[in-house]
Chains A and B, each alone.
Chain A
Amino acid sequence: GQQVMQIPQYQHVQEGEDFTTYCNSSTTLSNIQWYKQRPGGHPVFLIQLVKSGEVKKQKRLTFQFGEAKKNSSLHITATQTTDVGTYFCAGLRDSNYQLIWGAGTKLIIKP
């Protein structure tokens, strides 16, 4: 079935370093959504990308949707302790608008 693969599973960075997580789908997606889950919390919607090749920015966060609408990335510049958490991508399946979730990337800031 349709899957969304997300890598890496974990990333340890020093505060101030950059962070990137990638999502790849086996088939074309209608759109892709990104969520952040803080430790002990629940996933919170960050952004949605709809158009092929779309790039959106939220302060230090940059989101990209691939030209083929099969892959996406989230890049955080100069990480801060407030960025700690797990970042999930979720692709919207064209046929029935079901969200297919990536496994998440856990961002850990090294002290």
Chain B
Amino acid sequence: KAGVTQTPRYLIKTRGQQVTLSCSPISGHRSVSWYQQTPGQGLQFLFEYFSETQRNKGNFPGRFSGRQFSNSRSEMNVSTLELGDSALYLCASRRGVTSTDTQYFGPGTRLTVL
């Protein structure tokens, strides 16, 4: 079974631009979560989608948005990029949102904002 895939793997943008990241979950998984990870930091939760609906949201500004499609694939968008948005963006999928569902992470998209 293929794992979680994220595209692109690397991105370089300049301040003020916007960016869209894509995540394809494991087949059969309906939940997708997004995280931001900066050097030396833990995993900062962005949001989680399940069946095309946002279930949970972290404490990030409105410049960060996401969506999920009917095939469970998800995209994350960051508008008006700032230098501080440079980070590894990780996507994780899980089968559902019950107590026994564990998360499987993709390799991440490394975003550099210049």
Measuring CB to CB, which residues of chain A are less than 8 angstroms from any residue of chain B? 6, 30-31, 33, 35, 41-45, 48, 50, 88, 90, 92, 96-99, 101-104
Contact = CB atoms under 8 A, between A and B. Distances in A.
Contacts of B41: 103
A33 B42 CA distance: 15
Given A96-B56, A101-B43, A42 B98 contact: no
Interface residues of B, number: 22
Q: Which secondary structure dominates chain A's binding surface?
A: strand
Given A96-B55, A96-B56, A98-B56, A43 B43 contact: yes
Q: Which secondary structure dominates chain B's binding surface?
A: loop
A97 B98 contact: yes
Interface of B: 33, 41-43, 45, 48, 55-56, 90, 92, 97-108
Contacts of B104: 45
A90 to B, nearest CB: 8
B102 A45 contact: yes
B43 A88 contact: yes
A103 B108 CA distance: 18
